């Protein structure tokens, strides 16, 4: 990929202030943004995940803003490294994602942009639970090697267009994704298998394929918010 093509002119470190915690993040806004994607990282990861950063740069090159942020505070991450008790606390992770979404909708830079979620591993479950709670506030979901099964009963309340991307050699997770997809009732849902890829998509070209597929999905579903407002105005006349 051309690094110049992926350069973002407006990227800033942000502090996402929630009720009881502040979460560190990085908000990247291309000159003309067609939506903003919030990244829900996977087990034991953070906003510094090289895989999520790779996908984020590809989305930015398609005119999509991105918010990479930590679902846990620094203290919580230290606890989780020792006990692994928070990375599977889907209710907590989803609550943090909902809070970050509301923060975006209050921010002057991104409040008019449609929202998308990109979830990896347990973060995918958190994205589905959050979308089930927020309903029409979320326009699209993409899961990379995710565990949507961990969303539990919330799967049956997901109405957001959902794309599940799984490596062809990640057999156990592939089975879990197939089962979860069957439970999601939204009209537009899809499972895409990347041949030869394992759970982390470390094979040559595998992660680039994920980024390409995700960018196409988000570009299609994150129409500029001004278009949505225009349609609403026409409908009310």
pLDDT, one tens digit per residue, over 138-166 is: 999 999 999 999 999 999 999 999 999 99
pLDDT at 221 over 90: yes
Task: State the pLDDT at residue 77.
Answer: 72
Per the structure, how many domains does the chain have? Answer: 1
Alpha-carbon distance 7 to 2, whole Å?
9
The mean of the pLDDT values for the chain is 87
Task: Convert 109-142 to b/e letters by CB count within 10 Å (16 or more is b).
Answer: ebeebbbbbbbbbbbbbbbbbbbbbbeebbbbbb
| Interval 76-118: pLDDT, tens | 777 667 767 777 789 999 999 999 999 999 999 899 999 999 9
CATH number, residue 132: 3.40.50.1820
In a domain, 108, yes or no: yes
pLDDT at 137 over 80: yes
Residue 207: which H helix or E strand, with range?
A: helix 206-221
Alpha-carbon distance 70 to 77, whole Å?
9
Question: Using an 8 Å Cβ cutoff, are 116 and 37 in contact?
Answer: yes
Alpha-carbon distance 42 to 32, whole Å?
29
Question: Using an 8 Å Cβ cutoff, are 221 and 116 in contact?
Answer: yes
Residue 100: which H helix or E strand, with range?
A: helix 90-106
In a domain, 3, yes or no: no
In a domain, 5, yes or no: no
Task: State the pLDDT at residue 19.
Answer: 84
The percentage of the chain sitting over the pLDDT mark of 90, rounded to a whole number, equals: 70
pTM: 0.88
Owning domain of residue 44: 10-236
In a domain, 56, yes or no: yes
pLDDT at 8 over 90: no
| Interval 162-185: pLDDT, tens | 999 999 999 999 999 999 999 999
């Amino acid at each position: 990929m051309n690094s110049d093509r992926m350069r973002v002119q407006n990227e800033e470190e942000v502090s996402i202030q929630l009720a009881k915690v502040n979460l560190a993040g990085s908000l990247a806004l291309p000159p003309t943004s067609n939506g903003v994607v919030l990244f829900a990282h996977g087990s034991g990861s953070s906003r510094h995940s090289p895989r999520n950063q790779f996908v984020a740069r590809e989305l930015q090159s398609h005119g999509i803003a991105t918010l990479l942020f930590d679902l846990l505070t620094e203290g919580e991450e230290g606890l989780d490294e020792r006990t692994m008790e928070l990375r599977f606390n889907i209710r907590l992770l989803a609550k943090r994602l909902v809070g970050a979404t509301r923060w975006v909708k209050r921010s002057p830079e991104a409040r008019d942009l449609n929202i998308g979620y990109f979830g990896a591993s347990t973060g995918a479950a958190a994205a589905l639970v959050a979308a089930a709670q927020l309903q029409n506030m979320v326009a699209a979901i993409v899961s990379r090697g995710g565990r949507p099964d961990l969303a539990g009963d919330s799967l049956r309340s997901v109405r957001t267009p959902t794309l599940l991307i799984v490596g062809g050699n990640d057999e156990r997770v592939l089975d879990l994704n197939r089962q979860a997809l069957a439970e999601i009732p939204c009209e537009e849902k899809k499972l895409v298998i990347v041949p030869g890829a394992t759970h982390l998509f470390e094979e040559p070209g595998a992660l680039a394929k994920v980024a390409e597929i995700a960018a196409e999905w988000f570009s299609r579903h994150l129409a500029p918010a001004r278009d949505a407002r225009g349609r609403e105005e026409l409908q009310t006349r």
